Amino acid sequence: MTSELLLAYSPIILIGLIALYFMLPNPIEGRVILLPGPDGKVGSVVVKSQGGEQTLNTAYAGVGVDTAGKLIAETGSADLVKKRYGALIEASPPRPVSFTVYFTSGSATQLDFISKSAIGAVKIELAGRPAPEITVIGHTDTMGALEANDVLSQERAATVRDMLLEAGIQAVSMDIAGRGEREPIIRTPDDVDEPLNRRVEISVR
């Protein structure tokens, strides 16, 4: 009697299970989480799929993409990200960082007073990087001839490189280059004395 009832109800149970299966959400195939930068600031990112798009603009906000392309909003936290992805984050290389020093007008060797402390900041940053790579790029303002500024920017980059070496900073590679007046921070006409353009950019990665 019991077995007959079970057999009689088995198709209904099976249909119910099938219906329940199709009601379940599709598994998450990918996930995007917006992390704050080292300074705590948060940008924004737009995640798009066949199922629409969502904008993330708060720290640790996330969106999952299921196998059907549907976007599913998620709310995260620093603790949750650390728990799920802590090992992955720790294994990632340090983020690139950059420093800028400024030179007095026409000089290839004289940094302005404030910029002299930047060399120490670079040294502190490199202490936590086991195999850093450094790029030093020199720039000028538009005072003087184009060709002369090409030479001056290269000399400024070489000056900063020598300062880094004298400070005991070691790197896997330390490349220098000069851009002359071609990449100004502030665009000016020719023969304009602009302090912000007389600079050397130090990139560390």
* Tens digit of each residue's pLDDT (9 = 90 or more) over 76-103: 888 888 888 888 878 777 788 899 999 9
- For residue 184, the one-letter residue type is P
Whole-structure pTM over 0.75, yes or no? no
Please give the pLDDT value at position 24: 53
The half-sphere exposure of 35 on its side-chain side, counting CA atoms within 13 A, is: 12
The half-sphere exposure of 200 on its side-chain side, counting CA atoms within 13 A, is: 36
List the structure tokens of 203: 């990139």
Comparing CA positions, the residue from 95, 102, 114 lying closest to residue 193 is 102
Domains defined along the chain, listed by start = 9-91 (no CATH), 97-204 (3.30.1330.60)
More confident residue, 99 or 51: 99
Please give the pLDDT value at position 127: 76
* Tens digit of each residue's pLDDT (9 = 90 or more) over 144-158: 999 999 999 999 999
